[in-house]
Each structure stands twice: as C-alpha cells, then as structure tokens.
C-alpha cells in the first residue's frame, strides 16, 4: 500500500503526463527535449509538519519541484506556453481528486542554459506546494 505522500506525488505526475510536454519523475535530463518541452517531477521536501492531537494528525506543506525545460529557436514562447499549461493543469483540480487540501505552484525563475553545438535550453525549477494531512509521518 502506497503512502499518502507517494499517492499524492503519483497523482501530480499523472496530471503532468496529460500535458503535451514529456513528463518524467525523478529522471535525469535526457539528451533530447521534445518540441512541446519537458517536465521532470522531483519528490522535494515534505518539511517539518504541524501536529494536532486528538486525533493525532501531521499537516504538511510538502514542496515538490518540477523542472520545466524547452529548447529551440522559439524557446521563450514555448516556455511561456509550457508554464501556462502547467498552471492550468494545477488550477483544474487543486485537491488532486481529494488527495490534498490544496495545491499551488510558485512562479518560475527561468534561466537560459547554453549547450555547445545545439540550441540553448530555457529552464526553471517550479516549486509546487502540496498541503495535506496524514495520521502517521511514514504512512
């Protein structure tokens, strides 16, 4: 049986997989980036939970990270399109089907990465905050 944390991360990855961009989870940057872009979900850090008693609950603000990458001559507009589609996918269901209390993304801080002998990449790490509660930090 998967933990609450893993179930939520798998649901977020499934949401990303529905986008036109290639969506990976925990993988390294591949040699080629598709025209629609690339999203790599990193598990991130659950942080220190707030704890309530009776019943005992651990309330997390888990910071997952999504690496968004585009490549090509029109990378500025492609990056904007990729970020907008990611934002729309999150806004469409901010509870991931009831698994989370709330999901929100932070604004990206894009950087251009030159690649020798190829078109440069435009990339950013986008933090996604997953608010959820569990009865056990390992469950």
**pLDDT by residue (tens digit) across 4-56?**
999 999 999 999 999 999 999 999 988 888 889 999 999 999 999 999 998 99
pLDDT at 13 (0 to 100): 98
Question: What is the pTM assigned to this prediction?
Answer: 0.93
Q: From CA 107, how far away is CA 99, in angstroms rounded?
A: 23
Q: Hey, what domains does the chain have and what are their CATH numbers?
A: 4-134 (3.30.2000.10)
* pLDDT tops 90 at residue 60: yes
Q: Are 136 and 58 in contact (CB under 8 A)?
A: yes
Distance (Å, whole) CA 46 – CA 130: 9
Task: Give me the percent of the chain exceeding a pLDDT of 70.
Answer: 100
Phi, psi of 135 (to 5 degrees): -80, -15
């Amino acid at each position: 049986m998967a933990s609450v944390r893993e179930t939520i991360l798998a649901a977020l990855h499934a949401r990303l997989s529905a986008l036109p961009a290639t969506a990976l989870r925990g993988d390294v940057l591949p040699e080629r980036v598709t025209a629609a872009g690339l999203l790599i979900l990193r598990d991130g850090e659950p942080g220190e939970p707030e704890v309530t008693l009776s019943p005992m609950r651990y309330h997390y603000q888990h910071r997952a990270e999504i690496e968004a990458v585009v490549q090509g001559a029109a990378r500025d507009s492609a990056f904007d399109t990729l970020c907008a589609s990611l934002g729309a996918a999150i806004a469409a269901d901010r509870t991931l089907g009831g698994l989370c209390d709330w999901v929100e993304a932070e604004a990206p801080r894009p950087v251009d990465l030159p690649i020798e002998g190829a078109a440069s990449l435009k990339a950013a790490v986008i933090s996604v905050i997953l608010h959820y509660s569990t009865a056990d930090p390992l469950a």
